[in-house]
Amino acid sequence: MSFQSLLGNSVDIGLILLDSSGKIRLWNHWIEQRAKRSAAQAGGLTLTQAFGERIDPRVALVVREAIDFGWSGRLSHALHPMPLPLFPPGGEHSERMKQSIDITAVDCDDARHCLLQIRDVTETVRREALLKQQARQLRSDLQSLSRAQIELQRSEMRFRELARQAPAGLFEADSQACCTFLNERCEHILGNRLDDVDDTPWIDLLPVGEQARVRTSWRLAVESATRFAEEFRYTRPDGKQLWMRAEAGPLRDQYGSISGFIGTMVDVTEFHERASRNEFRANHDGLTSLLNRDRFERHLRAALSGAREVSDRVALLFIDLDHFKQINDTHGHQAGDIVLKAIAARVRRVVRSDDMVARYGGDEFAVLLNGIGDETALHGIIAKITQAVAMPINLGSCHVRIGSSIGMAVYPDHGDDPASLLTHADKAMYSAKRGRCEQALSSQT
Amino acid sequence: MRTFSELELDALTEAFNLSLGEAAATFSSIVREEIELSVPTIEILSRDELIERLESGRPAGADERLCRINQHFNAAGGFQTDALLLFPEHGSLEIVRRMLGDDTPIQHITELEQDALAEIGNIVINSCMSSLANLFGTEMIGSLPRVQSRTAATLLDDKNASDVILVARIGMTMAAYNLSGFVLFIMNVPSIESFMAQVSRLFNLPEHDGSQARP
């Protein structure tokens, strides 16, 4: 084996040497393996004879230029993917190997030769395809990331604007109840800016009397990861008293544990005031603001069961105005109303504050006296009431006087249930009235 | 430094123009797409003048790299030259990727793309070289093309400051792309003298006369 072919066979590259007439002089082992033709078979043939007609015409052209003009040329894989019919060694391959060919003019033995160096670029092509695929993937990932980012910004803006315009106070607080976000409305309701209160649990801002209850409720919501909802009184820094309702749901961090709460804070002062007005109206007489009959009877029942337990005495008085109808007829209903209001106020003043006074019917009043003393004390109260009622009443244009008849029933002396006590007091009142009428009649005669 | 007379420049331009036409035809047949190479403009510059020219041609602050495809030629009789093709890296990448039908945005040129660029340079340089070989009436043995990517300032660091450079500015147009590049022939002083003499003799022009020199 010649030195030339020994060298040629030991490199990992295809070498073909052509002489000045284009005949193959060297055909190394690398080529033998891939061209399925031995050096012995190829020697002396032209490239076209060795490979057939299936070679890229540019190979022949550049070979010609090398031999004729001494130029060198490169056939890149990119522009000439597989110029020669070379196949990967071993096995049956129908597709040509990916190649890149350098063609150089070589002068040896005083004659121009042409050397073809053929490289297998299959691995390079695979690597670059992978690189480009990764680049495309990266670009598409980047695009979807930036789309997601834009969407996130948009949604963040949407929620920020919603929070700004929301008619309710919105707040977010950590599990220690320190606020991490307040919308403008919430800052307005609380009368505090977030910066001023963010290091204090918001519950500490409530009146001391409310704190324990709300704090317990908050702690319970944090521990059980449930909704928090409480109503409480609140005194704003400017001194205004409010009723507030806070409702919030738990927020979870990426590990699923409770990181805080987000919810609404609503000023329910008006609602509360209206509710208490309604409650008053339901239990009180509109004209005199005394308890109404219904409410009075409920108090009576409660007082009786209370008295029964502690063996106390309870007195029930019925007061009926004498000849009230005449005032209405003579001076009109407005005058009648003035009289009723005046009487109500006087009776209220005479009894103790924990005694109950009710307008029982048109011109009927009822009084419930708890923990009464002996008969004498009781008669003293009745006398005071009678006296107070009898005082002249200013109607503006004139003064009127009105008498009253009072009937009394005492638990347990006259009955041990509301109905029997009411009946007894009613009867006692009528008998008192009859007595007064007879007295009046007899005084007229 | 000697310069060319207008007649000499015209003659050289014409010679290059013919060979560049052939190069364009070769490209078009390879990529099956119309490619135009513009009529070159030709000058003689020193290395530093050329670098200054390359740097001033670009917007301030741009540090775009240039792609340099280099082949060395040896002529019989000791005459030798380096032939260089210069393109802005970004533009040449776009052209190569368009030729390969692949617009994947990879910042740097890949090995296969560099190979393709080497072939493009090879075709342009060989065609220009054929004009010079004709002028010299001699064979020019050329090396394989070598591709390098450099900034303009360091582009010609491997050349001597005293080298004289024959610069042919060419434009390459493909579809919507316009790419402006330079073909350079870098010669040492003895080589350029011999080259000048050849040019004068071959075009049968009178010996150089200062009054005919280009301003």
- Tens-place pLDDT, residues A323-356: 888 888 888 888 889 999 999 999 989 888 888 8
- Domain(s) labelled CATH 3.30.70.270 in chain A stretch across 285-444
Q: Where do the domains of chain B lie, and which CATH numbers do they carry? A: 6-58+65-205 (3.40.1550.10)
- Distance from the Cα of A42 to chain B's closest Cα (Å) equals 26
- Distance from the Cα of A160 to chain B's closest Cα (Å) equals 38
Closest CB to A124 among B71, B111, B141: B111
Closest CA to A244 of A206, A215, A293, A296: A206
Q: Match domain A3-120 to its CATH number in 3.30.450.20, 3.40.50.300, 2.40.30.10, 1.10.486.10.
A: 3.30.450.20
Task: Give the chain A residue nearest B124 (alpha carbons).
Answer: A73
Q: Give the Cα separation of A340 and A346 in Å (integer).
A: 10
Task: Give the chain A residue nearest B133 (alpha carbons).
Answer: A69
Q: Give the Cα separation of B92 and B87 in Å (integer).
A: 6
- DSSP summary character for residue A236: -
Q: Contacts of residue B140 in chain A, CB cutoff 8 Å?
A: 69-71
Check if B168 contacts A (Cβ < 8 Å).
Answer: no
Closest CA to A73 of B123, B79, B63, B130: B123
| ipTM reported for the complex, 2 dp | 0.80
Closest CB to A73 among B106, B122, B133: B122
Q: Give the Cα separation of A431 and A48 in Å (integer).
A: 147
Q: What is the pLDDT along chain A (445 residues), one digit of tens a residue?
A: 577 778 888 899 999 999 999 999 999 999 999 988 899 999 999 999 998 878 888 899 999 999 988 889 999 988 888 899 999 887 777 788 999 999 999 988 888 999 999 999 999 989 988 988 888 898 899 999 999 999 999 999 998 888 888 888 999 998 888 999 998 889 988 898 989 888 889 999 899 999 999 999 999 998 888 899 999 999 999 999 999 999 999 998 888 888 889 999 999 999 988 988 888 888 888 888 888 888 888 888 888 888 888 878 888 889 998 888 888 888 888 888 999 999 999 998 988 888 889 998 888 899 988 877 778 888 888 899 989 988 898 888 888 888 888 998 988 888 888 888 889 988 988 888 888 767 665 655 4
Closest CB to A131 among B110, B133, B141: B110
- Distance from the Cα of A1 to chain B's closest Cα (Å) equals 30
Contact assessment for residue A35 and residue A82, using Cβ atoms and an 8 Å cutoff: no
**Phi and psi at residue A47, to the nearest 5°:** -60, -45
Q: What percent of chain A has pLDDT over 90?
A: 33
Contact assessment for residue B12 and residue B42, using Cβ atoms and an 8 Å cutoff: yes
Cβ–Cβ below 8 Å for A74 and B71 = no
- Domain(s) labelled CATH 3.30.450.20 in chain A stretch across 3-120, 166-273
Residue A29 burial (CB < 10 Å; 0-12/13-18/19+)?
middle
Tokens 């290091």 correspond to A199
Cβ–Cβ below 8 Å for A102 and B130 = no
Check if B176 contacts A (Cβ < 8 Å).
Answer: no
Check if B110 contacts A (Cβ < 8 Å).
Answer: yes
Task: Give the chain A residue nearest B130 (alpha carbons).
Answer: A69
Check if B145 contacts A (Cβ < 8 Å).
Answer: yes
- Distance from the Cα of B18 to chain A's closest Cα (Å) equals 17
Closest CA to B188 of B164, B156, B168: B164
Which class does domain A285-444 fall in?
A: alpha beta
Q: Which residues, at least 6 apart from A92, have a Cβ–Cβ distance to it below 8 Å?
A: none
Cβ–Cβ below 8 Å for B142 and A128 = no
Q: Tokens representing A78?
A: 């990119």
Check if B99 contacts A (Cβ < 8 Å).
Answer: yes
Preceding peptide of A412 cis, ω within 30° = yes
Q: Tokens representing A162?
A: 């919603």
Closest CA to A319 of A288, A354, A298, A283: A288
Q: Contacts of residue A136 in chain B, CB cutoff 8 Å?
A: 104
Q: Give the Cα separation of B210 and B206 in Å (integer).
A: 12
Q: Contacts of residue B137 in chain A, CB cutoff 8 Å?
A: none
Sort strands A356-359 and A364-370 into parallel, antiparallel or unpaired. Answer: antiparallel
Q: What is the largest CA-CA distance in chain B?
A: 55
Check if B111 contacts A (Cβ < 8 Å).
Answer: yes
Q: Tokens representing A255?
A: 């590990």
Per CATH, the homologous superfamily of domain A166-273 is: PAS domain (3.30.450.20)
The per-residue pLDDT for range A49-72, each reduced to its tens digit, is 998 878 888 899 999 999 988 889
- Distance from the Cα of A71 to chain B's closest Cα (Å) equals 5
Measure CA A389 to chain center.
61
Q: Give the Cα separation of A210 and A189 in Å (integer).
A: 17
Closest CB to B110 among A80, A102, A128: A128
Output b/e per residue, B58-79; b: 16+ Cβ within 10 A: eeeeeeebbbbbbbbbebeeeb
Q: What angle do CA B63, B66, B68 make, to 5 degrees?
A: 160
Q: How many Cβ atoms from other residues are within 10 Å of residue A192's Cβ?
A: 19
